[in-house]
């Protein structure tokens, strides 16, 4: 499982110009069952978080580097890989699938 921590490196005006494309990108990977949840970071508004499943770090990077926020150099990405050990049973489908 991975966490993508996005940090905006451009103004919110520039972020909003690419937002529709970014949302289409997110939708693509939700439909493929890769993304679990995502959203903006607030106070101050500085980026976003994507929680997702991937088979390995190489695939995770390939997926993230398709993001218009990446290709348009809107955000920097920190990729954190982790193994969920304790979780609510309602979350088990996401934790056990790849």
How much is the average pLDDT of 61-75?
97
CA distance 34 to 29: 5
Map tokens 């580097």 to a residue.
65
Q: Residue 45: its pLDDT value, please?
A: 79
pLDDT band with cut points at 50, 70 and 90 for residue 61: very high
pTM for the complete prediction? Answer: 0.89
Q: Quick one: what percent of the chain has pLDDT higher than 70? A: 97
How much is the average pLDDT of 9-29?
96
Q: Residue 98: its pLDDT value, please?
A: 47
What are the pLDDT digits (tens) for 25-42?
999 999 999 999 999 998
Produce one character per residue of 60-98: b if its CB has 16 or more CB atoms within 10 Å, e if not. Answer: bbebbeebbbbeeebbebeeeeeeeeeeeeeeeebbeee
CA distance 78 to 57: 12
How much is the average pLDDT of 15-27?
97
- Cα dihedral 54→28→50→33 (10° resolution): -40
């Amino acid at each position: 499982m991975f966490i993508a921590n996005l940090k905006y490196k451009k103004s919110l005006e520039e972020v909003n110009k690419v937002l529709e494309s970014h949302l289409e990108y997110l939708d693509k990977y939700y439909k493929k069952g890769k993304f679990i949840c995502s959203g903006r970071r607030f106070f101050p508004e500085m980026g976003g978080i994507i929680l997702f499943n991937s088979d390995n770090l190489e695939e995770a990077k390939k997926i993230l580097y398709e993001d218009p926020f990446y290709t348009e150099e809107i955000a920097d990405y920190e990729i954190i890989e982790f193994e969920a050990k304790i979780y609510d049973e309602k979350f088990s489908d996401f934790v056990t699938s790849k």
